[in-house]
């Protein structure tokens, strides 16, 4: 039987939304594993809009996270507030700075971050139902908020970020770009993706494994 997977997006674009390669590879890997997918995103304004050509904040511009996520989902995206855990077997959240800016405020507040209320409620529902969750790239900064202290996860081997996760209560495990970390007790799978990847193929290898491990836990 095909597994049903919810994917939460954070907009469209590495600097202010979901990392496009990570999101597309995730959706492709899920499709190749015959999973049925529904994308979700919070119906909120982005923290800011970044000009991806220059890397600078586009002053005066405002974009909606749900609307921008529709670019990746080809229009098939729903408000994360409507996500019902009973309809799905697993949850995956790609990275990109949007995960740390729009799904939570880690980019602003570090260890004192808070999560978007609807995203946190949805993610904790998967935890409470003992259904697997996959977080990649910078998204594991939300692991402690979702699972509590002691959760095992990785953002790769960036010492500064790892120290912040440890201060938040996570058990950070260093990992190379092609590795995944599985917290069996929490059914959480994490991988560094573009925290370390220098080529799309490097990101793809571990993202595909993350998808397979999440599905195997479902």
Catalytically active residues are 137
DSSP string over 75-110:
T-EEEGGG--GGG-SEEEE--SHHHHHTSB-HHHHG
Under 8 Å CB-to-CB from 4, ≥6 apart: which residues? Answer: 35, 36, 37, 38, 87, 88, 89, 90
In whole angstroms, give the CA distance from residue 7 to residue 91: 6
Intra-chain end-to-end CA distance of the chain, in Å = 11
């Amino acid at each position: 039987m095909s597994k049903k997977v919810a994917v939460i997006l954070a907009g469209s674009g590495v600097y202010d939304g979901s990392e496009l390669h990570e999101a597309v590879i995730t959706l492709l890997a899920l499709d190749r594993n015959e999973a049925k997918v529904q994308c979700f995103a919070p119906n909120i304004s982005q923290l800011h809009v970044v000009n991806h050509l220059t890397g600078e904040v586009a002053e005066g511009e405002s974009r909606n996270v749900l609307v921008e996520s529709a670019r990746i989902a080809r229009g098939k995206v729903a408000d994360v507030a409507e996500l019902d855990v009973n309809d799905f077997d697993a949850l995956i959240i790609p990275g990109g700075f949007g995960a740390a800016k729009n799904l939570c405020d880690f980019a602003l507040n570090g260890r004192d971050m808070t999560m978007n209320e609807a995203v946190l409620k949805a993610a904790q529902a998967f935890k409470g139902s003992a259904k697997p969750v996959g977080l990649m790239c910078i998204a594991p900064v939300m692991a402690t908020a979702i699972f509590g202290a002691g959760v095992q996860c990785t953002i790769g081997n960036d010492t500064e970020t790892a120290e912040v996760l440890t201060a938040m209560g996570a058990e950070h495990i260093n990992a190379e770009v092609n590795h995944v970390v599985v917290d069996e007790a929490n059914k959480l799978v994490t991988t560094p993706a573009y925290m370390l990847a220098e080529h799309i193929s490097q990101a793809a290898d571990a993202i595909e494994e993350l998808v397979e491990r999440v599905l195997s836990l479902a």
